[in-house]
Amino acid sequence: MLTIDLTGRRALVAGVADDRGYGFAIAKALAEAGASIVLATWPPALNIFLNLLERGKIDDARRLADGRLLEFEKIYPLDAAYSTLEEAPSEILENKRYREVGDFSIEGLVSRMRDDFGETPVDIVVHSLANAPEVKKPLMETTRGGYLTAMGVSAYSMVAMVSRFAPRMRAGGAFLSLTYMASERVIPGYGGGMSAAKAALESDTRVLAFEAGRKHGARVNCISAGPLASRAASAIGIIEAMVEYCAANSPLTDPLAPTEVANVAAFLCSPLASGITGSVVYVDKGYHAMGMAVAPGARPSG
């Protein structure tokens, strides 16, 4: 039988602060495949997440197929807006959620992982984070600052992570990020420059695959996932409508489960996908293939 076997590999999943999003589901699928998991969590959400874990509030979600609980070797603080600590402004450095956690930059994360696990501490890096302060604003009302922050946090952060982690990966390393179809088709309400940030993330997937592949033999792929009512997506304000619309108009009409995205993530990060890099893979029940909405009450065949 073909199996996804990640035994002996370590995966970093950046962008997990509860059990509702794609990052958590991906961490769990990678663990089911045998990988050990470290997380990187945004400092403003870190304490809440640690509390959830400590109080057993997400134990049900952490339960693996063999009955064990999903464990995290480490949970590091990460604000992906900053490649180095020097880039962080004083109001962030002095903020109560940040000042106690140590170096929360991307370089800080690399160096903590080297201290904890050695010179090549990781095999798989998953970027499952995005933020746009003005996501509820239409593009035409988005400020330059809001737009650039969306780009910096949601797209450039992947560039910074690949450039710092690729030299520190063991052979067969794989990167993965998550995008949304709003990069290529208009999704009214997905504002604040997030659509442009996802377009950049997808374009960068190809260039990073070439550069990291040639230089370090690492692979870089991206999943274009269908809508899910995660915490981040709920901030957009229209996520329920997006989920409903997709289910009603996709070739496959069951709601998309986060595990369906996570299983593809585990495959893409595994040796079974050693020939795949620079790809954007849709996991959206086929919604991307549609060119026309299905009329209400229409026959299932269309």
At its nearest, how many Å lie between ligand NAD and the CB of residue 35? Answer: 19
Please pick, among 22, 156, 180, 287, the residue that the annotation labels catalytic. Answer: 180
At its nearest, how many Å lie between ligand NAD and the CB of residue 214? Answer: 26
CA distances from 69 to 9, 35, 61, 64, 200 (A): 18, 14, 9, 6, 36
Interface contacts to ligand NAD, rule CB under 6 A: 15-17, 20-23, 42, 45, 78-81, 128-131, 153, 178-180, 225, 227-228, 230-233
Distance separating alpha carbons of residues 210 and 277, to the nearest angstrom: 8
**Percent helix, strand and coil across the chain, each to the nearest 5:** 45, 15, 40
Contact present, 194 and 182 (Cβ < 8 Å): yes
Distance separating alpha carbons of residues 106 and 234, to the nearest angstrom: 26
How many other C-beta atoms lie within 10 A of the C-beta of residue 141? 11
Residue among 278, 133, 248, 239 at smallest CA distance from 194: 133
Nearer to ligand NAD, 9 or 20 (CB): 20
Is 180 a known active-site residue? yes
At its nearest, how many Å lie between ligand NAD and the CB of residue 233? Answer: 3
Contact present, 16 and 51 (Cβ < 8 Å): no
Nearer to ligand NAD, 130 or 169 (CB): 130
Nearer to ligand NAD, 230 or 270 (CB): 230
Nearer to ligand NAD, 10 or 76 (CB): 76
Residues facing 75 on adjacent strands: 39
Q: Which residue is nearest to ligand NAD (CB)?
A: 21
At its nearest, how many Å lie between ligand NAD and the CB of residue 134? Answer: 14
Residue among 197, 160, 191 at smallest CA distance from 175: 160
Distance separating alpha carbons of residues 119 and 126, to the nearest angstrom: 19
Nearer to ligand NAD, 117 or 245 (CB): 245
Is 76 a known active-site residue? no
At its nearest, how many Å lie between ligand NAD and the CB of residue 143? Answer: 18
Please pick, among 190, 245, 282, 287, the residue that the annotation labels catalytic. Answer: 190
* Cα within 13 Å of Cα(16), Cβ side: 27
> Which residues form the catalytic set?
180, 190
